[in-house]
Amino acid sequence: MTRGALFDLDGTLADTSGDLIAAANATLAARGASGRLDRATDAGLSGKGGRAMLRAGLARSGAPAAEVEPWVEAAFPLFLAEYEAAIAVHSRLFEGVETALETLAAAGWRLAVCTNKPEGLARILLAELGVLDRFAALVGADTLPVRKPDPRPVWAAADRAGAARGRSVMVGDTTTDREAARAAGLPCILMDMGVSADVVAELDADAVLARYADLPAALERLRPPA
């Protein structure tokens, strides 16, 4: 049965925090909120999604709590537009990603992306980063009616990539990825690349790695060739 490596995107394959924070700040400014996010200190917050960033920025503006959610929902389409317009200005693949993907493909692994970023934006970003064609499947936040940590996007990523669910591994960087893998009945490797919203080393993963050079061997240990 064919093995599958199912990758999260933001914080796992690439550091996308700079462009996400820039889009949040542009949205806050356009909507008249004074609060701003900082690329250096708020990088982890970007991994929680656009709404979380907008909430944080609005809270720093001193908005009453009752106004936050309606404001965020009204502003979210603008955030998506701002992000799409400048999606790969600062974003970069982590060191070693391309080599690891080549190594895995050569060993017969089927590769897929399973992200909570909208599928269209994920597709654009992966193309801009030059790795879209490395993946046999892409499942985003809006591909199915549900998103991670529900197991169904994980299963769909494996199925669409042509990998056996029982021979696949989730590769992520957050509690959400670990919980999705657990719900799907898969092992989980977490990449600790310094931009996660969570303390990766404290999560109950099958392996925690700080270098992509170590990923192929870790995957082979979890899913040896049949």
Residues 100-144 pLDDT 10s:
999 999 999 999 999 999 999 999 999 999 999 999 999 999 999
User: How far are the Cα atoms of 56, 98, 125, 136, 183 from residue 101, in angstroms, in the given order?
Assistant: 35, 5, 17, 12, 25
Question: Nearest-5° angle of CA 47, CA 52, CA 54?
Answer: 120
Element spanning 26, H or E: helix 17-30
Predicted confidence at residue 54, as pLDDT, reads 97
Query: Residue 221 belongs to what H/E stretch?
Result: helix 215-222
Place of tokens 């909430």: 55
CA distance 185 to 198: 22
- Kind of pairing, strands 92-93 and 14-15? antiparallel
Going residue by residue through the chain (226 aa), what tens digit of pLDDT does each one get?
899 999 999 999 999 999 999 999 999 999 999 999 999 899 988 988 999 999 999 999 999 989 999 999 999 999 999 999 999 999 999 999 999 999 999 999 999 999 999 999 999 999 999 999 999 999 999 999 999 999 999 999 999 999 999 999 999 999 999 999 999 999 999 999 988 777 888 899 999 999 999 999 999 999 999 8
Say if pTM beats, i.e. exceeds, 0.85. yes
Structure confidence at residue 195 (pLDDT): 83
The residue from 8, 42, 177, 198 that is catalytic is 8
Contact 77, 23 (CB under 8 A): no
Spatial separation of the C-alpha atoms in residues 23 and 17, rounded to whole Å: 10
Instruction: Give the separation between CA 148 and CA 46, rounded to whole angstroms.
Output: 16
- Rounded CA gap, 113 and 119, in Å? 10
Annotated binding site: 8, 10, 173
Query: Is 8 in the active site?
Result: yes
Residue matched to tokens 């969570």: 198
Contact (Cβ atoms closer than 8 angstroms) between residue 124 and residue 91? no
List binding-site positions for Mg(2+).
8, 10, 173
* Cβ count within 10 A of residue 202: 9
Give the bridge partners for 15, in sequence order: 92
The dihedral sign for the CA sequence 183, 193, 141, 60 = positive
The pLDDT score that the predictor gives to residue 99 is 99
Please identify which residue in the block is written with the tokens 């356009």: 30
Looking at the chain, how many residues does it have?
A: 226
> Of all residues in the chain, what percent are helix, strand and coil, respectively (each to 5)?
50, 15, 40
Quote the distance between the C-alpha of residue 175 and its chain's center: 12
Q: Tell me which residue has tokens 């064919």.
A: 2
